[in-house]
Amino acid sequence: MSDNTAHDEPELVQLLTPEGELRHHPDYPLDLGAEEVRGLYRDLVLVRRVDTEAVALQRQGELGLWASLLGQEAAQIGSARALRPQDMAFPSYREHGVAWVRGVDPRELLGMFRGVTNGGWDPAEHGLHLYTIVIGSQTLHATGYAMGVQRDGATGGDDGTAVIVYFGDGATSQGDTNEAFNFAAVNNAPVVFFCQNNQWAISEPLERQSRVPLYRRAAGFGFPGVRVDGNDVFASLAVTRRALQHAREGQGPMLIEAFTYRMGAHTTNDDPTRYRVAAELEEWKRKDPILRLRAYMAANGVADDDFFAAVDAEADKLGERVRIECRALPDPDPLDIFHEVYAEPHAQLDLQRAEFADYLASFEDAGAEGGR
């Protein structure tokens, strides 16, 4: 039996080339007005600025860690703009663009990476679950949530609810992710698996994760998969919009492989120069998601120099706000650790809280006695 199927060139859904030329795809039509295109550009620029500021803040000792999204803005903004208010998204720890679109203030993200909160937003209010650090576990959370949506009868029509879960190429090697694929398939769960294939699982390259393109994994579990140019915000929006509609109508799961590149380090604790070459980075710089959209807009009269200057000025103001608000984040009260552990009062937890409060008070008492 021939092994050619493992090496066939996979189809890549692309609507906007790296040079900014618009293409049409028969399966993924997209009709956007000028204002919508300008909105996508603004999202990309502002999210990149938040990310740039956060990296700098970590280098200055203001954050304990930061996972940069540099290079992956189009995959996140395009897919998130396909969501509807009733939908629920499950992120990993790098989906700052998704958080932006779902209305989570950057301050909330900074608080988590500063160590003053465990995630300060209400998932129900924003339709965005809290960040997940354990690789791949959010795929099971999302699948379970989608099965609940299904059992609540919230699918089957145009106004139905869909679920999307974000993860990286490295997570496809995790058991949790493959179990989620199977659960979703056999239960026909309304979930979209959105894999941001940024080519590197920390220092492990893609060829160490899979012999076949990742989107083809879906076929083995019995549901469709598609590869999209993850640096193309138009294609990311169109493909995700169709996949979510597929889910909300009760047709089951889909896998989207967003083929993109992690331009920065895995996190600010990582040094990518130790395992990848500069030429690879330079190649992907020519596919930058912001530059290609700007080229398209300028060539087609969608925006003028005044618009681009205004967005840059807005980014400068946002950057200043991020710096100020990060440094002003208050340290949490030590007793906050006991909040919202249980939905109802819990006697054992109340006892532990009281004991810990007494322990903290003992330091104050000791300090008072020492000052006499």
Q: Closest Cα to residue 93, out of 71, 68, 117?
A: 68
Alpha carbon distances (Å) from 36 to 77, 143, 203, 288? 12, 31, 37, 20
266 a catalytic residue: yes
Q: How far apart are CA 119 and CA 130, in angstroms?
A: 6
Q: Which of 59, 275, 286, 359 is catalytic?
A: 275
User: Which position has the token pair 């909330």?
Assistant: 108
Angle between helices 305-327 and 34-59 (to 10 degrees): 40
262 a catalytic residue: yes
Q: Which of 262, 292, 294, 296 is catalytic?
A: 262
Alpha carbon distances (Å) from 158 to 63, 155, 250? 42, 8, 10
Q: How far apart are CA 307 and CA 302, in angstroms?
A: 10
Residues, the chain: 372
Under DSSP, the state recorded for 122 is -
- Which spans in the chain are helix H? 34-59, 73-80, 96-101, 106-114, 123-126, 137-151, 175-187, 217-221, 233-248, 278-285, 289-299, 305-327, 347-370
Q: How far apart are CA 118 and CA 116, in angstroms?
A: 7
Q: Which of 266, 292, 294, 296 is catalytic?
A: 266
Retrieve residue 310's tokens. Answer: 């205004």
Q: Closest Cα to residue 48, out of 231, 302, 300?
A: 231
* Secondary structure class of 36 (helix, strand, coil): helix
Q: How far apart are CA 11 and CA 228, in angstroms?
A: 8
Upper half-sphere CA count for residue 184 (Cβ side, 13 Å): 35
Under DSSP, the state recorded for 253 is -
Q: Enumerate the active-site residues.
A: 262, 266, 275
